[in-house]
Chain A
Amino acid sequence: MEATITQHRDKIIRIGKLLYGFVLGWLILNSIALLIMLAAVVGLYVAGTSGSRQTVVDLFTFAELVPGLGAEEIEKIITWDYETFLDHFWLIFTLALVSTGYFVTTMILMLRIAKSLKRGDLLSKQAIGSLHLLGWIYVIQGVVAFFWGIIGQLAWTSNTCELLYFSFIHDVCNYSFTFSGSGIEWGMLALALSWIAKSFQEEQELIV
């Protein structure tokens, strides 16, 4: 059905084009970054399991510069970090993979919304459906990330938690909405919008 919000049509089209361009660029750039991240995770694991463990530790020891710490202390910390990483590799890899999937899915949904907006078709089934799905994804992600963070703070004090939560889940989730806090608020907003738009759509279908 054609959008009937003719008064705001030009504004919707402009913002739709802007959003589409931004999201497309963001998707391409971050997909490359995420693929590099995945490759790095796998590479570090392969290096660690194929006898090059000390080479990796040496490489990071050389790169780290912490004021007040000598090379020996830094090496100890990096060794412990790397061992933790190797011990939890499959969990980290799964999380990295899920985060990549999550990011790509949300960006594609946003692209679908932006595509409808730039056509000036706010009430398309594609846009409303994507907005609704996006809402649920953000609410669930927000709640999971929130409790994950709390559990992490209370139960774990190791770098593993930092690595798992902050390095992967939280950062990657925030890529989706650059200025987003937890994601819960965005999820609720998207849900509310989808319901408003849906009722409006149904109402419009019965006006002849």
Chain B
Amino acid sequence: MAIIVNLDVMLAKRKMKLNDLAAAVGITPQNLSVLKTGKAKAIRFSTLDAICKHLECSPGDILEYTDNEESD
């Protein structure tokens, strides 16, 4: 897929653990892990909103588009 999820980068920058973010956002760590590892097929605006709020960033910091067909 051409969309890359940089959640792990943002978590490292904020020195925050995945479990802590999951608890703050209100979703399960498993679901957040699905997002982090790029396995997610979709992300709800409400989830994105909550993640951005807690990581103090914008959606562009978490999601990145790369024009790379082979990455699919």
Binding site for B on A (CB under 8 A): 203, 205-208
How many residue pairs link A and B with beta carbons under 8 A? The number is 22
Bound: A207/B42 CA distance, A:
5
Q: Which single member of B27, B32, B42 contacts A206 (CB below 8 Å)?
A: B42
Contact of B47 among A203, A205, A206, A208 (CB under 8 A): A208
* Dominant secondary structure of chain A at its interface with chain B: mixed
B35: Cβ under 8 A from any A Cβ: yes
A205 to B47, CA, bound (A): 14
CB distance from A143 to the nearest CB of B (A): 37
Contact code string B41-57 (vs A, CB < 8 Å = 1, else 0)? 11110010000000000
Task: List 17 extra interface pairs beyond A207-B43, A208-B40, A208-B44, CB under 8 A.
Answer: A203-B41, A205-B34, A206-B34, A206-B39, A206-B40, A206-B41, A207-B40, A207-B41, A207-B42, A207-B44, A208-B27, A208-B31, A208-B32, A208-B35, A208-B42, A208-B43, A208-B47
Name the 9 nearest CB pairs between A and B, nearest first. A206-B41, A207-B42, A208-B35, A208-B31, A208-B40, A208-B47, A206-B40, A208-B43, A208-B34
A205-B34 Cα distance, complex, nearest whole Å: 9
Q: How far is the CA of A77 from the CA of B17 in the complex (A)?
A: 84
A9→B39 CA distance, assembly (Å): 28
Chain B residue with the shortest CB-CB distance to A207? B42
B5-36 toward A: CB 8 Å interface, digit per residue (1/0)? 00000000000000000000001000110110
